Structure 1
Amino acid sequence: MFKIDGNALLTCGVVVVHIVGLDKPGVRFLLQGNEAVARGALEGGVQVATGYPGTPSSEVIETLSEIAKDYGIYVEWSVNEKVAFDVAVGAAVVGARALVTAKNAGVNWYMDMFATVVYGGLPGGLVVYAADDPGAFYSSTEQDTRPLAKSVGVLILEPADQGESKEMVKLGFDYSERFELPVFVRSVTRISHSTGDVLFGEIKKERNKVFFNRHYGLPFRYNVYGPYKYKGEVGPSAKHAWQLEKLEIIKEFVEEVPFNWVEEGDTDVGIVASGIGYSYVKDVLARLDGSVKPWVFKIGTPYPLPIRKLSKFLSNLREVLVVEEGDPLVEEEIKALSKDCCPEIKILGRESGTIRSFGELGLSQVLKAVSELTGSKYYEPSNERRNIKAEIKKIIAPRSSMLCAGCPHLGTYWVLRFALHKTVNKYRDRFKGAWIVNGDIGCYEMGGYGLFAREIEPWREKTTKRVSFDNPYEILDTNYIMGGGIGLAQGQYHAGYREGPIVAVAGDSTFFHACMPALLNATYNKAAITFLVLDNSWTAMTGHQPAPTTGFTATGSPSKTYRIEDVARALGVDDVWVVDPYDIKSAEEALLKAMDKTINESKTTLV
């Protein structure tokens, strides 16, 4: 991130603290992909920007928060992605331009509203930005969010680099207002978290007029159950018919969109490259010997595809390689299209095994696939770099992510380890098997990373087996998604597991993001579990963004500080302990008391 402190830039009488806020059209800067998205939103006249911290998407809201006051933009870190999406939709309902950001996992959180708001659409421009994580460097999965957006029936834009990231977000507001539907912009880690050349354009100073008319454009527009009649249907079905008509207009529009184009070749083989796949292809073609020049169709709209242009492109080719990051979304569409326009053509890609169907798309994979397609020789990268890496490996110890020195979570896990052992020993007549510690997503997830762990052989029998561990990086038994741990604990208890204590662990930001309904469910349905909330007053893992426990908002404005113990009591937890994890003795005593309460009184406790 590029910050200018002290001697801030002065532009048009406005002092800016981030280069993204510089009002100088025509200049070029190296920007991180997420910074480019923020610049695109600024140039597009965004009025409301929302999101929840999630790598690799967080820097969009962070960047906009630094320039929000200078340009009159409302920017917030919402308590979760669903709320962020709803806030952005609300802004678009009254005609404002809104941006909502999330990582791939966060998209799942707002799908209910996303799938519904398209029934009737919106007067204000709504750009939905998702940063996927192929290879799962920062995520539980490497989920491709494009199929989700396709299922909703909206225009999907997929940038090939940072420059296109800016332009697609900027124009996305125009497209959204033109079609009265959200526009989905899908990025990936290698774009969002790397830098590229970005040309600055004009910053849109005018703001959309905010208004409300419940019947604007359509009767009962914002009430999906409203008695709107269309094509013989009423209510949601009528609004669905309206949306499908809009989608047909979008299908025509993508034939002329500036993000799709053809590069001519001199052979009967071609490449269809979507998003970052195009950047890999351009790099690869520069490495080939040049004996064959394949045709290239660059795709910026993976849905809907420009069918007429693609049909013409495919008609004169014998073989086509599809290069895209994630699921074979474009590949499947092209296969279906080819059956009508050119059934003899051979389509290669992930489904054919030409490119592997898991992990991040890499230069070496694309290089091999393109060289085989064209029959061209490619220049091997110099061995010098490979040799340097080999030498470095000899002198540097292997490292992984680990909790920071002095992190309170280390104390918490130390206490939990001893409390579990003492509780099992105390109730040895009752507990014959293993305890279960259910984790969650945040810094504390490193308690399941297994650093320094021994080699593990799978256990083939469906019997409980207690596993010993020697360090805090092996303490978590389950770990899936945000808010999942406390629900898993309840399922284990209600299924009848009684061979050891059942514990759930979550952080303060995760507590407010996803755990409150589950905690209410635990007290309401009488689950005997112990819930540990690790409160460090930040959303720490994604870069120390503020949370409801921090005391200020995304833009630095003072706000209330919410006490987890008060919320827990309001949700029906009678027994709550607040401890300092640095005070090992007191923390252990509290945790032992909580486990005793859970075991002897069959109730939910919280520490």
Structure 2
Amino acid sequence: MKELALLGDEAVALGALHAGVSASYGYPGTPSTEILESLIAEYEKGGPLAAWCTNEKTALEAALGVSYTGRRTMVTMKHVGLNVASDPFMNGALLGIKGGLVLAVADDPGMHSSQNEQDSRFYAAFAMIPCLEPRSQQEAYDMTREAFDLSERLHVPVLLRLVTRLSHARAGVAPSEPKEQNPLAKAEDKTEWMLLPAYARKNYNALIEKQKDMLSWSEAHRVNKLELDGRDTDLAVITTGTGGNYYEENLDDLASSRGGKLPARLHIGVYPIPMESVRRLCEKAHRVIIIEEGQPLLEERLLGLLPQRLTVSGKLDGTVVRSGELDPDNVRAALGLMPRPSVKADIPALPGRPPQLCQGCPHGESYETIKQAAAGLESVVIAADIGCYALGALPPYSVPETIVCMGASVGMAKGAADSGIKYAIGVIGDSTFLHSGITGLIDAVAANTPMTLVILDNSIVAMTGCQDTMLPSARLKDVVLGIGVHPDHVIELEAKRQLQDENAARFRTELEYPGLSVVFFKRECLEAFRKRKKQEAAKAQSSGNPETGGTV
């Protein structure tokens, strides 16, 4: 088949399609978003089902339902999304997976768009399931296909671990012949899908027995490449994932610095850790340098708890940078090589350019209103959440005081009110409210907590590229009323500058109410508006009608 230039995320999507996937689910999160967007584009052209879900947990649970019926399924998310999905993820390892189930999880070393650097390989090791870590777009395609086969052979979910640079870089991919979808066929042994204690114990023992097969697969895998012949075995190097690419970019200089002889090396691209290969690599070595993208999973396991003859160097002793991304230059330093020659220019320090809300963003108007309403008040806490509106913590707004994770704004505002804060305010977006805010609001309803929840409703999932929210804006108020918030204290305000004084007065009234209030600030996202008008214009043009335009 013809070679294609694909992003790493697009290569994963194509691999899933060619593996015969029947349904794919996910929640948007950079750097994973483009996987499901690609699959949704195919679905809209008549391909297999692909859909966004309310959160990562519901996405994985839907995928488990597909697997139970014998069909192949994929779930996509970013690394912190796996925290949300961890309950069905950990329990899913004990099920008798029938149709192949693959979790494509994109980690974000360097925190380009995330609140932490967690490494999803730890989750795979915790759940005792295989993990595949591609280092190129071609491997992303090939490993995705292999992951479905492996899942069905071992009857476990399989984790495909990506990182930002791979997800968002483009390279040539040579596809292979597609497979047909699996036929519909429910699992025969229901006890493998019921985690009652008696069955779960049996299933857990079965998972332990599968570890031998997983290890044999890992030891024999083509990407777990051991290089010993003609190498200096006194120094060993272990690379994982994209760390292998950065190591190889320095090979010429490394060979020159060592008299033409390279150190022994093992590259690991699939897990569990191929321990026999590691032992062979290290049996004559006095030092091993571990270059792994992410956290020191491999290094911690090799160090163990007791002193040993072998010196293990990596992130824990400072040989390899502990935070941020790997690159050829910091890997070069870890290998003891001099910095590359470079040109230094005398450029004056440039002013910082932190990310900002778009000009005219409705969230800006909302934050100005909140700031005006809260002016002069004492005993105030404003807890915000993950999303575009998190940028309101920066100047010129500087409104939120806390940003932790999806949905935390609701629970933290409740906790602040419980502690005695008089004016406890939570700020959350419309999609994030559906993702993780509803359950926190139920807690507040049950206690009639004296707090005010602000839902910034811009009618779209904006920060990740304008995906549709799971429920339209018109239905969010019904959700809030259905939970039990008193109708007199569910307020809808239009987020416009010319209404700021009026809105601030109404918002101040709700702040003074000694119970639970929910205030909606509503106005369409500008980017979503532009995207919608562009689509409407294209549709009108194709039907022969002129585009009439519009205003926000």
TM-score using structure 2 length: 0.88
Q: Secondary structure at the match of 2:173?
A: strand
- Residue 382 (structure 1) aligns with: 342
Q: Does 1:209 align with 2:183?
A: yes
Please say if residues 266 and 277 of structure 2, whose CA atoms lie closer than 8 Å, have aligned partners that are also in contact.
no
Work out which of the residue numbers 57, 60, 75 in structure 1 matches 2:50.
75
Q: Does 1:304 align with 2:272?
A: yes
1:549 Cα deviation (Å)? 4.3
Q: How does 1:311-326 map to 2 (within 5 A)?
A: 311-326=279-294
Work out which of the residue numbers 506, 519, 522 in structure 1 matches 2:441.
519
Distance 2:438 2:12 in 1: 32
Q: Deviations over 1:190-246 (max 9, x none)?
A: 111122232222222x11011224xx2x452211117xxxxxxx3211110011111
Q: Does 1:240 align with 2:204?
A: yes
Please say if residues 381 and 421 of structure 2, whose CA atoms lie closer than 8 Å, have aligned partners that are also in contact.
no
Please say if residues 273 and 322 of structure 1, whose CA atoms lie closer than 8 Å, have aligned partners that are also in contact.
yes
Q: 1:494 to 1:247 in 2, by over 3 A?
A: same
- Residue 490 (structure 1) aligns with: 414
Identity rate, percent: 32
- Residue 354 (structure 1) aligns with: 319
Q: How does 1:176-575 map to 2 (within 5 A)?
A: 176-204=151-179, 206-213=180-187, 216=188, 218=189, 220-225=191-196, 234-264=198-228, 265-267=230-232, 268-288=234-254, 290=256, 291=259, 292-301=261-270, 303-336=271-304, 343-370=308-335, 372=336, 377-378=337-338, 380-383=340-343, 386-387=344-345, 391=347, 398-421=352-375, 424=377, 433-448=378-393, 450-451=394-395, 471-472=396-397, 474-498=398-422, 501-550=423-472, 562-574=474-486, 575=489
Please say if residues 380 and 421 of structure 2, whose CA atoms lie closer than 8 Å, have aligned partners that are also in contact.
no
Q: Does 1:152 align with 2:127?
A: yes
1:278 Cα deviation (Å)? 0.7
Q: Secondary structure at the match of 2:402?
A: coil
1:573 Cα deviation (Å)? 1.6
Please say if residues 431 and 460 of structure 2, whose CA atoms lie closer than 8 Å, have aligned partners that are also in contact.
yes
Work out which of the residue numbers 41, 59, 66 in structure 2 matches 1:91.
66
Amino acid at match of 2:216: E
Please say if residues 38 and 63 of structure 1, whose CA atoms lie closer than 8 Å, have aligned partners that are also in contact.
yes
Distance 1:131 1:338 in 2: 34
Amino acid at match of 1:209: P
Q: 1:126 to 1:253 in 2, by over 3 A?
A: same
Amino acid at match of 2:245: S
Please say if residues 55 and 436 of structure 2, whose CA atoms lie closer than 8 Å, have aligned partners that are also in contact.
yes
Tell me, which stretches of 5 or more residues in structure 1 are unaligned? 1-24, 227-233, 425-432, 452-470, 551-560
- Residue 105 (structure 2) aligns with: 130
1:324 Cα deviation (Å)? 0.4
Amino acid at match of 2:340: E
Distance 2:150 2:186 in 1: 21
Q: Deviations over 1:84-127 (max 9, x none)?
A: 11111111111111110100110000110111122132111001
Q: 1:45 to 1:219 in 2, by over 3 A?
A: closer
Distance 1:363 1:604 in 2: 53
Amino acid at match of 1:579: L
Please say if residues 548 and 562 of structure 1, whose CA atoms lie closer than 8 Å, have aligned partners that are also in contact.
no
Tell me, which stretches of 5 or more residues in structure 2 are unaligned? 521-552
Q: Secondary structure at the match of 2:293?
A: coil
Distance 1:563 1:261 in 2: 54
Please say if residues 155 and 250 of structure 1, whose CA atoms lie closer than 8 Å, have aligned partners that are also in contact.
yes
Q: Tell me the C-alpha RMSD between the 2 structures.
A: 2.1
Q: What count of residue pairs does the alignment treat as equivalent?
A: 513
1:538 Cα deviation (Å)? 0.8
Amino acid at match of 1:406: G
Q: Deviations over 1:8-55 (max 9, x none)?
A: xxxxxxxxxxxxxxxxx2x32332111111111122111111110100
Q: Secondary structure at the match of 1:252?
A: helix
- Residue 118 (structure 2) aligns with: 143
Q: Deviations over 1:116-145 (max 9, x none)?
A: 122132111001111011111101111112
